């Protein structure tokens, strides 16, 4: 499944290169009209990120994101700056189908498990952003600005043990670069953790990339820049 990504910063649709807030491309697209376009083209799920909240921890685009979700006939998952159970519950109670938890998932895993127990595994997605470091992948948090002193494997082991189903993994070294996704990383994760529904993110630039991720066993591919620039279309899914 192709999952369109709409990143919001200062109320505008943008894309960052490798998570760098100083390497921003602004797209002249109305966010509400864009989500309606994606849904009318067949998107079954929309992924929205509040980049201001990811950077500061404050929900700078909350009202716009709720307006976008209200305009979407397909479910919406939202991430960026959700740092507490109260933040997550507020979004879920406001009509957001699923919350995407990144920094809190890496630093306060018990909060995530409590949310799964209260709201159900379908409504919670653990987002693990990683950078390659030698032969391993080091998780990063707070808008990709800080490293986390734990391993990707230990986080996945924990969340699978406690019933998390939806996991989004981004190789941030590829994000926004349209250089191709890290297919080998995703293939290995699917092989090691077949019980999760993996959303692969970072580097998708073509339909061939989508096909590679499907063969690797990913349940979905997060696609941002490639959809905005037309190198991938929803009709091709």
- Catalytic site residues? 7, 129
In degrees and rounded to multiples of 5, residue 15 shows phi and psi of -135, 140
Query: Distance (Å, rounded) from C-alpha 129 to C-alpha 167?
Result: 11
Query: What count of residues does the chain have?
Result: 237
> CB within 8 A of 226, min separation 6: which ones?
178, 204, 205, 206, 209, 232
- Nearby residues of 172 by Cβ (< 8 Å), 6 or more positions away: 18, 19, 129, 130, 131, 140, 144, 202
| Angle, vertex CA 44, rays to CA 40 and CA 48, nearest 5 | 90
Q: Give the distance between the most distant pair of CA atoms in the chain.
A: 44
**E strand residue ranges, 104-210:** 124-133, 136-141, 146-147, 166-171, 197-201
Q: What does the alpha-carbon distance between residue 60 and residue 82 come to, in Å, rounded to a whole number?
A: 11
């Amino acid at each position: 499944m192709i999952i369109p990504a709409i990143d919001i910063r200062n109320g505008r649709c943008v894309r960052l290169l490798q998570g760098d807030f100083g390497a921003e491309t602004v797209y002249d697209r109305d966010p509400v009209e864009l989500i309606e376009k994606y849904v009318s083209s067949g998107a079954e799920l929309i992924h929205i990120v509040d980049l201001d909240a990811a950077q500061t921890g404050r929900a700078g685009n909350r009202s716009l994101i709720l307006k976008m979700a209200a305009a979407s006939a397909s479910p919406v998952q939202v991430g960026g700056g959700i740092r507490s159970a109260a933040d997550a519950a507020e979004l879920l109670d406001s009509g957001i189908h699923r919350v995407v938890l990144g920094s809190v998932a890496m630093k306060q895993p018990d909060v995530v498990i409590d949310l799964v127990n209260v709201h159900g595994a379908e409504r919670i997605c653990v987002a693990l952003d990683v950078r390659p470091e030698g032969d391993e992948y080091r998780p990063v948090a707070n808008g990709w600005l800080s490293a986390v002193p734990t391993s990707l494997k230990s986080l996945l082991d924990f969340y699978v043990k406690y019933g998390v189903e939806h996991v989004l993994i981004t190789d941030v070294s590829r994000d926004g670069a349209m250089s191709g996704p890290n297919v080998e990383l995703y293939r290995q994760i699917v092989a090691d953790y077949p019980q999760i529904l993996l959303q692969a993110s970072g580097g998708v630039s073509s339909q061939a990339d989508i096909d590679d991720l499907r063969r690797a066993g990913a349940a979905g591919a997060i696609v941002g820049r490639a959809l905005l620039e037309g190198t991938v279309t929803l009709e091709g899914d």
